[in-house]
């Protein structure tokens, strides 16, 4: 968790981001099966290879669908079938690693990402996913190293820049984190996460003016971001704006209640005596 005044910040590495990244980066166009007419015009041994590859791709898509629909155990079973058939398939290890993350089996996830990178060291998405595991395990330097490798492969990957910045915050190095958030915002000015975490970084170095500017922007981008209200409340409290701080905290409590995070809402109520 990140240090942030009176805040209760969200986890550094959300799993859904990892899944979304896998979805966008691992699969490209051309995953359909081989048409019978195509197979008929191909020498038999090549046609067999193509059909086998198409079947594996179809299995990967089935597993990914299970993962997206909230059935990680079914997804793991499907990806394991693929690996049993083709133990050189980096996509299968990568996706199974994400599924293991969802059920919080981080050792298994790490092993799968290690294998995926060994098989395909040029895919920045896999480094991002492994960085997520390192972050969850509080191995922030490991997360930084993986993000840095991913950024070398794709310097315009906003998720990797934000991830590395978050890991720097985990090491309580906000000044090193800010340039990554700057670059992420330059690439994606509407990135809610980049503005939020840059605001947190500025708060950590007591630059409250810039922190508030980023948090105000975060709230404009997403008025349902309870964490942004909590952090802004902390800054306003530090600045002696007691009434405004209380308003932000009450807004955060209401949002958390509506979003099913009643434990966090109760924690804030107890803090405020509210």
Q: pLDDT, tens digit, for every residue of 106-157? A: 999 999 999 999 999 999 999 999 999 999 999 999 999 999 999 999 999 9
Cα angle 184-232-176, degrees, rounded to a multiple of 5: 35
Structural domain spans, the chain: 1-172, 180-274
Q: Give the pLDDT of residue 274.
A: 74
- Report the distance separating Cα 198 and Cα 236, nearest Å: 17
Residue 225 has pLDDT above 70, yes or no: yes
Q: What is the mean pLDDT of residues 26-37?
A: 27
Q: Are 7 and 234 in contact (CB under 8 A)?
A: yes
Superfamily of domain 1-172: Tetratricopeptide repeat domain (1.25.40.10)
* Domains 1-172 and 180-274 in one fold: yes
CA distance 126 to 173: 25
Judged by DSSP in three states, 184 sits in helix
User: Do residues 212 and 204 lie in contact, with contact meaning Cβ atoms separated by under 8 Å?
Assistant: no
What architecture is domain 180-274? Alpha Horseshoe (1.25)
Give the alpha-carbon dihedral of 118, 121, 124, 128, to 10 degrees.
Answer: 20
Please give the share of the chain, as a percent, with pLDDT higher than 90. Answer: 77
């Amino acid at each position: 968790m990140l240090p942030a005044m009176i805040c209760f910040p969200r986890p550094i590495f959300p799993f859904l981001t990892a899944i979304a990244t896998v979805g966008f980066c691992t699969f490209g166009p051309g995953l359909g099966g081989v048409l019978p007419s195509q197979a008929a015009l191909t020498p038999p041994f090549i046609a067999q290879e193509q059909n086998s590859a198409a079947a594996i791709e179809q299995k990967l898509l089935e597993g990914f669908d299970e993962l997206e629909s909230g059935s990680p155990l079914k997804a793991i079973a499907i990806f394991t079938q693929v690996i049993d058939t083709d133990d050189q398939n980096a996509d299968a290890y990568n996706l199974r690693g994400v599924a293991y993350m969802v059920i919080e089996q981080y050792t298994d996830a790490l092993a799968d990402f290690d294998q995926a990178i060994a098989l395909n060291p040029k895919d920045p998405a896999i480094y991002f996913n492994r960085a997520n595991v390192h972050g969850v395990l509080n191995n922030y330097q490991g997360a930084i190293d993986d993000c840095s490798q991913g950024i070398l492969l794709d310097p315009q990957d906003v998720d990797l820049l934000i991830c590395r910045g978050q890991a720097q915050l985990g090491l309580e190095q906000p000044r090193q984190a800010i340039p990554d958030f700057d670059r992420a915002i330059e690439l994606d000015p509407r990135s809610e996460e980049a503005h939020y975490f840059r605001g947190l970084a500025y708060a950590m170095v007591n630059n409250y003016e810039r922190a508030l500017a980023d948090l105000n922007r975060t709230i404009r981008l997403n008025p349902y971001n309870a964490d942004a209200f909590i952090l802004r409340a902390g800054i306003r409290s530090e600045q002696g704006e007691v009434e405004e701080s209380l308003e932000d905290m009450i807004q955060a409590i209401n949002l958390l209640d509506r979003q099913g995070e009643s434990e966090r809402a109760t924690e804030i109520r107890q803090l405020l005596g509210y």
